[in-house]
Amino acid sequence: MVKVEFLGPIGLDAMELEVANLKELKEILAQNEQVSKWLELCAVAINDEIASDINTKLNDGDRICILPPVCGG
């Protein structure tokens, strides 16, 4: 089971899911209308490390953060 956190304006509470890799996670999150619009814009971090390979394997206890783009000043 992995913990998925949604940062910034996504506005969802964290959830725990049973998934094998980022591709499977994306397929599940794409079913949520509130999250699906963010998926192509966001970066993803696994245990505080940015991940770019959709086939990255996830391990029990991993913490996944969905990171929307931000502007700073």
9-63 tens-digit pLDDT: 998 999 999 999 999 999 999 999 999 999 989 999 999 999 999 999 999 999 9
pTM of the predicted protein model: 0.89
Q: Which residue, 3, 10, 14, is CA-closest to 60?
A: 3
- Which pLDDT belongs to residue 57? 97
- Which pLDDT belongs to residue 72? 55
Name the E strands within the chain. Answer: 2-6, 15-17, 43-46, 49-51, 63-67
Q: If you ran DSSP here, which 8-state letter would residue 61 be given? A: T
pLDDT exceeds cutoff 80 at 65: yes
pLDDT exceeds cutoff 60 at 71: no
